[in-house]
Amino acid sequence: MSRTVIRGGLVITATEEIRADVLVEGEQVAAIAAPEVAEQWVPDADTVLDADGHYVIPGGVDGHTHMQMPFGGTFASDTFETGTRAAAWGGTTTIVDFAIQPVGGSLREGLDAWHAKADGQCAIDYGFHMILSDVGDDALKEMDALVAEGITSFKMFMAYPGVFYSDDGQILRAMQQAADNGALTMMHAENGIAIDVLVQQALAAGRTDPKHHGQVRHPLLEAEATHRAIQLSKVAGAPLYVVHVSAAEAVAELSRARDDGLNVFGETCPQYLFLSFDDLARPEFEGAKYVCSTPLRPVEHQADLWRALRTNDLSVVSTDHCPFCFKDQKELGLGDFSKIPNGIPGVENRVDLLHQAVVDGHISRRRWIELACTTPARMFGLHPRKGTIAPGADADIVIYDPNREQVLSAQTHHMNVDYNAYEGKPVTGAVRTVLSRGRVVVDGGEYLGQAGHGRFQRRDTCQYLI
C-alpha cells in the first residue's frame, strides 16, 4: 500500500483550520497529526508532498453537472472524459451528474445509458441523480430500486413543457414516493407554462436576442414555482432541494420555509454570483454564451444570494456545468433566443471562484469548504467518504495556493468548450496538487490522471436533514 505524507500545510475543513500533516495510505486518509508527531511518518513514506504556504482542503464535490447532456438538438460539449479531467484540474474530485429518463421509457433505460457514457471514462469519482421526465406508476415503483442502487435523488422540472416538464400531480406523487423511500427531490423551479407564453409573445414581437431569454424568465416565475414546490413537498412530507436558485424573490421563499423549520434546501451557482443580466445583454449575439436557466439576473439579486449563503438559506454551490460551444451550438439560436441551448460551463472554475469569494470577504475559508465540499457530500449521501479530510475518508485532497494570481480564460482552461464565461477575470488562488483516492492526478500544472480511475459512487440517502 502506498504511503503519502502531506507536510506543512493549513488543513481546512468545514469545522477546523489546523496546522497539521496528513498521512494517506492507499486510497484513504489514515491519520492527521501535528507536524512534530507526523515527522515519524516520513521515513516510511513513498511520497512526501510539501504543502508549506498552502491550504490542504478536501477535493470539491460538484453536485450538479451535465456531461454530454442532450439539449435542444445537440449535446453538452464535455464528455465524461473531458469534463471530469477539467473538474480535476479545478480541484473537484467528485461530481454527481444527471441521468435522464427518456420520455416514454423507464428509469432503468436512462440509468443504463448514463452508465454506458460514464463508466471507464471518468478521471474522478462520480455518481448520478435521476431526472424524472415521465412520472407514472412504473417510474414511481422504479424509484425504490434506484435508491437501493445508490441513486438517491431525483430531479424534476417545473419548466420545459414538452421536454422534461412534470405537472403538479406528477410532482406530488414523486414526492410522496420519495417521502417513503428516503430519496431527495431536486427541483428546477420555474413556471414553464407561463414562460412559454411569454417566449411566444416575445418572438412574435421580434424580440429575438439572447437578452430576451432573461426577460421572459421573470424572477416572479422562479419565486412562484419555488413556493409551489415547497408547498407540495410539505404536503408530501418530503425534503426538497431547489437547484440553481438565482432570483432574490425565490431566495425569500426558501428563507421563509427554512424559518418554518422545513427540510428545504437551496443551491446556487457561481454564474449567479459573479455574472449578471448585463452579460446576457452583450451585443452581437455574445449574450448567447450566458444563456442558462434559471437565467442570469440583474446584478441587484447578487446581494441576496450572498446573504443567503451566509445564513445557510442557500447551502450548496454547484456549477450546473452544461457547456455548449459558441460556434455551431449556441449559434443554433441566432435569430431565435428560444433555440439557444441552455447552459454555462464552469466545472473547472468553481473552487477558484468560491475562493475568490473568500478573498472578497463574502464568506470565510471554512464556509468555502462547507459550500463546495462538505455540504454537497452530506446532501447527496457521500459523507464522510467525500467532502472532508478525516481518518477513513477517501484521500480526495487538494493542495491549494491561496496567493497565486491567475486569469480565467478559454486559452488556459481544460473544459471542452470554446469560451470561458469568466474570460479575463483575475482571481487570487489556484490549485497546485490534486489527489483522487490517494493518487496524484494533477500536480504543478501537469495532468497525471487517467480516464477510468474514477469510480461510480453508490450514495446513501441525504445526510443533511434537520
Residues 6+ apart with CB under 8 A from 137: none
Q: Which is nearer to ligand URP, 153 or 436 (CB)?
A: 153
- Per partner kind, with CB cut-offs from 5 to 8 A, the member of ligand URP, Zn ion, none near residue 255 is Zn ion
- Per partner kind, with CB cut-offs from 5 to 8 A, the member of ligand URP, Zn ion, none near residue 50 is none
List the interface residues with Zn ion, window 330-359 (CB under 5 A). Answer: none
267 in contact with Zn ion (CB under 5 A): no
Residues 6+ apart with CB under 8 A from 21: 5, 6, 7, 8, 9, 32, 33, 34, 35, 38, 41
Task: Sort 215 into a burial class: Cβ within 10 Å, 0-12 / 13-18 / 19+.
Answer: middle
65 in contact with Zn ion (CB under 5 A): no
Q: Which is nearer to Zn ion, 49 or 175 (CB)?
A: 175
Question: Shortest Cβ distance from residue 237 to Zn ion (Å)?
Answer: 21
Q: Which is nearer to Zn ion, 313 or 396 (CB)?
A: 313
3-state SS class at 305: helix
Question: Shortest Cβ distance from residue 127 to ligand URP (Å)?
Answer: 16
- Per partner kind, with CB cut-offs from 5 to 8 A, the member of Zn ion, ligand URP, none near residue 4 is none
Separation of alpha carbons 351 and 94, rounded Å: 12
Residues 62-76, buried b or exposed e (16+ Cβ, 10 A)? bbbbbbbbebbeebb
Question: Shortest Cβ distance from residue 73 to ligand URP (Å)?
Answer: 14
Q: For strand 92-100 and strand 60-65, is the pairing parallel, antiparallel, or unpaired?
A: parallel
In 3D space, the residue among 428, 143, 380, 133 whose CA is nearest the CA of residue 239 turns out to be 380
Question: Shortest Cβ distance from residue 46 to ligand URP (Å)?
Answer: 42
Question: Shortest Cβ distance from residue 159 to ligand URP (Å)?
Answer: 7
In three-state form (DSSP H/G/I as H, E/B as E, the rest C), the secondary structure along 361-389 is: CCCCHHHHHHHHHHHHHHHCCCCCCCCCC
94 in contact with Zn ion (CB under 5 A): no
318 in contact with Zn ion (CB under 5 A): no
Rule CB under 5 A: choose which of 152, 181, 185, 255 binds Zn ion: 255
Count of residues of this chain found to bind Zn ion when the rule CB under 5 A is applied: 6
- Per partner kind, with CB cut-offs from 5 to 8 A, the member of Zn ion, ligand URP, none near residue 432 is none
Q: Which is nearer to Zn ion, 4 or 153 (CB)?
A: 153
Residue ranges that bind ligand URP, judged by CB under 6 A: 66, 188, 244, 292-293, 320, 322, 342-343
In 3D space, the residue among 155, 159, 156, 97 whose CA is nearest the CA of residue 122 turns out to be 97
- 336 near 207, Cβ under 8 Å? no
Question: Shortest Cβ distance from residue 464 to ligand URP (Å)?
Answer: 20
153 in contact with Zn ion (CB under 5 A): no
- Per partner kind, with CB cut-offs from 5 to 8 A, the member of Zn ion, ligand URP, none near residue 342 is ligand URP
C-alpha 357 chain-centroid distance? 17
Question: Shortest Cβ distance from residue 241 to ligand URP (Å)?
Answer: 13
190: left (phi over 0), alpha (psi -120 to 50) or beta: beta
In three-state form (DSSP H/G/I as H, E/B as E, the rest C), the secondary structure along 85-143 is: HHHHHCCEEEEEEEEECCCCCCHHHHHHHHHHHHCCCCCCEEEEEEECCCCCHHHHHHH
Copy the grid coordinates of residue 51.
Answer: 504543502
- 176 near 139, Cβ under 8 Å? no
Longest dimension (CA), the chain: 74
Question: Shortest Cβ distance from residue 172 to ligand URP (Å)?
Answer: 21
- Per partner kind, with CB cut-offs from 5 to 8 A, the member of ligand URP, Zn ion, none near residue 421 is none
Q: Which is nearer to ligand URP, 90 or 341 (CB)?
A: 341
Rule CB under 5 A: choose which of 320, 348, 370, 396 binds Zn ion: 320
Query: Which residue lies nearest Zn ion, judged by its C-beta?
Result: 188
In 3D space, the residue among 198, 201, 197, 194 whose CA is nearest the CA of residue 224 turns out to be 194
Q: Which is nearer to Zn ion, 21 or 313 (CB)?
A: 313
Q: Which is nearer to Zn ion, 62 or 401 (CB)?
A: 62
Q: Which is nearer to ligand URP, 320 or 396 (CB)?
A: 320
Query: Which residue lies nearest ligand URP, judged by its C-beta?
Result: 342
How far is the CA of 210 from the CAs of 255, 289, 322, in angstroms?
31, 9, 17
190 in contact with Zn ion (CB under 5 A): no
- AA letter at 326: F
Show the CA angle centred on residue 389, arms to residues 383 and 394, nearest 5°. 60
Question: Shortest Cβ distance from residue 188 to Zn ion (Å)?
Answer: 3
| Binding residues for Zn ion (CB under 5 A) | 188, 255, 258-259, 313, 320
